[in-house]
Amino acid sequence: FCNSFNNKKHLVFFEAKTTDGNAKFITYKNIFNNPSLDLDITDTVKIGENERQNEIQYGDVLFTGSSETPDECGMSSVVTTRPNERYFLNSFCFGFRLFDKSMFLPDFLKHLLRSHEIRKQIFNTASGVTRFNVSKKRFANVSIPVPPLPVQEEIVRILDNFTTLQAELDCRKRQYEYYRDKLLNVDCRMNNVEWKKLGEIASVIRGGNFQKKDFIENGCPCIHYGQIYTHYNTYTESTFTYVSKEVFEKSKKAQPNDIVMAVTSENVEDVCSCVAWVGKTPIAVSGHTAIIHHNQNAKFLAYYFQTEDFFNQKKKLAHGTKVIEVTPDKLLDIKIPLPPLAVQERIVNVLDNFEQLCNDLGIGLPAEIEARKLQYEYYRNKLLSFTPPHEITDNQYITLGIAVNDYIKIMQYVFGYVYVPMSEIAEICPGKDYRHLSNGKVPVYGSGGVMTYVNDYTYDKPTVLLPRKGSISNIFYVDVPFWNVDTIYYTKIDNSKVITKFLYYLVVNEHIEKYNTSNAARPALTREVLNKIVFPLPPLSEQKRIVAILDKFDALVNDISIGLPAEIEARRKQYEYYRNKLLTFKEKTA
């Protein structure tokens, strides 16, 4: 139900902050990183008057076309705000435009197309060896659900709530960047600070000789240039990936305290992104990198390479159109302020604290955002699977700090019901012997029903009795105080989730005798088995409505005072009357 498009013609790219371009340029990284397209950009392209290029529109869905791994192909970004100027797509990406834009909310699509179920389908559209490309023909066959717009709106409301903390983190990062540039603009603060060319304090070599396909689970540590953009911050003492010893020996290496810099990118902003290697052993470094070996504080240099001053120098060295590169040898002419090592250390200590506050996933706001991100992904995949049953049968929600009641209510609101195990709505409790009690009016239940009456009770709230041994098809709803023996369980029911009578009807309908765990002549049910039985659970209001209907039918069928039983009882009395009349004969008198 949509057209595909991409800009096959060559777009002349202009670096940020120039005035030569006449239209904004949507980069590969913009699409890859943002489920909702970022239109606050400075990259521009030159579009001729007679050129036929596809201009981005509100509601368009954009995708990356290729990557070095299939799981990173086809990353989506949706145009969720109306452009107020011209934007064009780069040639490494493609897009789809809906025939009927009223079918979907753009904000719904930004969540849907990143969900696990859709990503699985997109993964299967990619093929390749060293680089994977999306087949647009296969991509056009990806199936997506089309829920009603009110359902889309509610899913968007729920999922968008998980992103509110990001604005505060962005503000904190801007503060960090301000202090970083102030601290590293040392010539304004210290007249005696010496500026030197990088070539005076460092040597620069190219990395190379391994690719992503060489990664193994355990081995020698390595950094791939693409990870510098996606996995690393300013410095690291460990790597995410490894290569074999054979590949390691053939690769270029960074020594402890070296800087690893990515010298190939899609845009000027990201080229020369770097990470300081502060680990204790050498690491293998992939191609498209520069390895900077120096005699300064590695973190200080890595922080400096993030500043606006460095940006203004590197953009003069950047070249290329579709791919932006900086030749490693050219970096030797970069000028760097070099305060004494003790001052470098103090500056690094200050910036490390800011870096930690902004990026450390173990503390503060970043930790909370990471937790929210994991919760968001959990809800997104649950809400957008549209493949009933919507079960809550795993413990992942506990790990993610998600309140089960919140999850249940959300699923009920969106889908009308959710499947939950018995263990989430009721505690199954054993019975015990009653023979030490005196006679009374409290019924004693076994799996066969009421056995006798005593003067004490086990439980005095409405419950559902579940058989343990013997007559395991007998289910009882009890709303008076009772005692139960060890052949039948009682349940402590969480009425914030389920109405007791509704659970009774669910259990009766489930025919739990099929879960018999005994091979002996006497059937049996264990708590472990009963706790795993999964039931559909609508909202409480719907449960109440269903219970009212079923109670009415039950009364019509079983209540002796109304309905069919009353009619049967009346007919029985008529029958007895006529039977007695017909079969009562007066004795003849002689």
Residue 188: per-residue pLDDT: 39
390-422: b or e for each residue (b if 16 or more CB lie within 10 Å)?
A: bebeeeebeebebeeeebbbbbbebbebbbbbb
487-506 confidence digits (pLDDT tens): 999 999 999 999 999 999 99
Residue 160: per-residue pLDDT: 82
**pTM, to two decimals:** 0.55
What is the rounded CA–CA span in Å between residue 134 and residue 237?
A: 35
Residue 435: per-residue pLDDT: 92
Average pLDDT over the chain reads: 82
What is the rounded CA–CA span in Å between residue 149 and residue 145?
A: 12
- pLDDT higher than 60, residue 12: no
Amino acid at 565: P
Q: How far does CA 241 lie from the centroid of its chain? A: 23
Single out the residue of 186, 233, 154 nearest to residue 411, CA to CA: 154
Instruction: Determine if residue 198 is left, alpha or beta; phi over 0 gives left, psi from -120 to 50 gives alpha, anything else beta.
Output: alpha
Instruction: Please say whether the beta carbons of 88 and 53 come within 8 A.
Output: yes
**How large a percentage of the chain has pLDDT more than 70?**
77
Residue 449: per-residue pLDDT: 93
What is the rounded CA–CA span in Å between residue 566 and residue 560?
A: 5
Q: Kind of pairing, strands 87-89 and 23-26? A: parallel
The mean per-residue pLDDT over the stretch 188-216 comes to: 85
Highest mean pLDDT among 78-92, 323-337, 565-579: 323-337
Number of C-beta neighbours around residue 549 at 10 A: 10
Residue 79: per-residue pLDDT: 95
417-442 confidence digits (pLDDT tens): 888 899 989 999 999 999 999 999 99
Tokens, residue 283: 């690491």
Residue 486: per-residue pLDDT: 93
Residue 20: per-residue pLDDT: 59
Instruction: Please say whether the beta carbons of 143 and 11 come within 8 A.
Output: no
Instruction: Please say whether the beta carbons of 483 and 456 come within 8 A.
Output: yes
* Residue 176: band (very low, low, confident or very high) from pLDDT cuts 50, 70, 90: low
Residue 561 burial (C-beta neighbours within 10 Å; 0-12, 13-18, 19+): exposed
Task: Give me the residues paired with residue 466 across strands.
Answer: 489
Which whole-number Å values give the CA distances from 423 to 44, 238, 274, 428, 561, in the listed order? Answer: 58, 42, 50, 8, 38
